[in-house]
Amino acid sequence: MSVTLGSLTVMKAQTSLRRVIGRKVLLLFVVGDILGAGIYALAGKVAGQVGGALWVPFLVAFVLAALTATAYAELVGKYPQAAGAALYANKAFGVPFVTFIVAFAVMMSGVTSAGAAARAFGGQYLAEFVSLPVLAGALIFLALVTLVNFAGISESIKVNVVLTLIEAFGLLVIIAIGVYALVSGDGDPGRALEFHPVNGAFLGVLGGTALAFYALLGFEDSVNLAEEAKDPQRDFPRALFGGLAVAAAVYLAVAFTATMLVDTETLRTSSGPLLEVVKVAGLSFPPKLFALIALLAVGNTALINMLMASRLVYGMGRERIVPAVFASVHPTRATPWVAILFTVAVAVALVSTGDVGGLAETTVLLLLCVFALVNVSVLVLRRDPVEHAHYRAPNWAPALGAAVCVLLALPITGRDGSVYLRAGVLLAVGVLLWFVNRLLAGRGRNREDSAVEAEIGR
């Protein structure tokens, strides 16, 4: 049978997906999806916003992310299906174009995130091994990610599992360095409490939070496992909030360690801020080994995002929401090669014109708009009760979450105008594809009608 999401039709097999994922696996998935390139690449830039207390924007970002998480926890309990924000927007508003734009914004946020990871890959971590221009390193990196993506989903998932373990180990190394520094009296804990934002306390924290938000993205992807969870109504809220809490604790410990051991200016100007921590640590750890861990962590973020983006484009092509050519599958590798080429072409254009911070902020901007809509959707859908029990967010949480997302999306955060331009151009590409597809579909219907009329005439 089929379930229609506006013009987005999701085909479902007669036998549903197996419900085999328990709460512990869900928790690990949420934690693994959040941990990644954000903290490895952007810690220094966040520190530059607040002038010292790096952990403050991460703490605020966690609190604000938790507000939106309440909306996802309620909606995934009400509608345990694997379509995420597009499903919720469609159920709330029932406008096919809005549903499409939400799905396209999520897809493009994956591409911009991969672009940010690519720029981070070509920076100081790579310089530990070879001297290359940042752009050259980023393009080589995207080529490698594309090859893994093209090889097949099975190979990509196996690589992802290994890289998730490696990136988590790297962050535990930083935490161990911080604990050793505190015990041995190294470093300057007082520096982690310094607060000298360039634009004042409110705007400094706001700007830092808008950037730190990038490091906490990923929790929303877990809703795509809803159809395979054993008990989504009970397990998802606990896994979602628990995963956010674990990731936040790790990030706060890493942020405190980084500020305690490395001065703010060094962090701000470094494209490999956590490598600076390793180099000055009293607890010896090979810098080259940590640089390798960081490169693999950055690679994992890009791989996850490019997998998601290419499959979304493929799905939209298969359902004829965008031109059908995007649904082309390679005859031997069984991978959506046209969708992969499209997403990597966009990523190449992005890394050629933007830096790590700008691309990360574009990712955040796109998803803040999606999150605002999800928060509104949960309140709108209160008029659509379901028979089964599920988590219900307190009314104030999604309402405040929507307001916060809008606030963080505004230029008041100090976000550069090029970020808004980039996001606007990316969404314009989606609008263009939407209308091109409608034009092609209209022509197809006209040809069919003409053929029917000719047959009737005979």
Per residue in 305-343, pLDDT (tens digit) is 887 788 778 877 777 777 878 888 888 777 788 888 998
Structural domain contains residue 2 = no
Query: Taking 80 as the threshold, does the pLDDT of residue 127 lie above it?
Result: yes
Is the alpha carbon torsion for 204, 205, 206, 212 positive or negative?
A: positive
Higher pLDDT, 82 or 128: 128
* The pLDDT value given to residue 28: 76
* The pLDDT value given to residue 4: 38
pLDDT in tens, 189-230: 888 788 777 777 788 888 888 888 888 887 777 776 666 667
Structural domain contains residue 452 = no
* The pLDDT value given to residue 288: 92
Residue 129 sits at φ, ψ, to 5 deg, of -115, -40
Rounded mean pLDDT of the chain?
82
Between the ranges 224-228, 271-275, 438-442, where is the mean pLDDT highest? Answer: 271-275
For the entire predicted model, the pTM comes to: 0.84
pLDDT in tens, 228-243: 667 777 888 888 899 8
415-433 mean pLDDT: 91
Band (pLDDT 50/70/90 cuts) for residue 444 is: low
Query: Taking 60 as the threshold, does the pLDDT of residue 164 lie above it?
Result: yes
Structural domain contains residue 53 = yes
In Å, what is the CA distance from 189 to each residue of 53, 185, 193, 258?
Answer: 10, 9, 7, 10
* The pLDDT value given to residue 158: 67
CB 434 within 8 A of CB 100: yes
335-352 mean pLDDT: 88
Structural domain contains residue 7 = no
Any idea what the Cα angle at residue 141 is, between residues 135 and 146, rounded to 5°? 125
Instruction: Determine what percent of the chain is predicted with pLDDT higher than 70.
Output: 87
* The pLDDT value given to residue 9: 42
Structural domain contains residue 107 = yes
User: Smallest Cα–Cα separation from 287: which of 275, 297, 295?
Assistant: 275
Report how many domains make up the chain. 1
The CATH number linked to 391 is: 1.20.1740.10
Query: Strands 8-11 and 2-5: what pairing?
Result: antiparallel
* The pLDDT value given to residue 427: 93
Residue 52 sits at φ, ψ, to 5 deg, of 145, -70
Structural domain contains residue 374 = yes
* The pLDDT value given to residue 78: 87
User: Helix, strand, or coil here: 3?
Assistant: strand
Residue span of the structural domain in which 99 resides: 20-442
Structural domain contains residue 5 = no
Lowest mean pLDDT among 2-11, 196-205, 379-388, 414-423: 2-11
Structural domain contains residue 456 = no
* The pLDDT value given to residue 405: 94
14-20 mean pLDDT: 50
pLDDT in tens, 92-120: 998 889 988 998 898 889 899 888 888 98
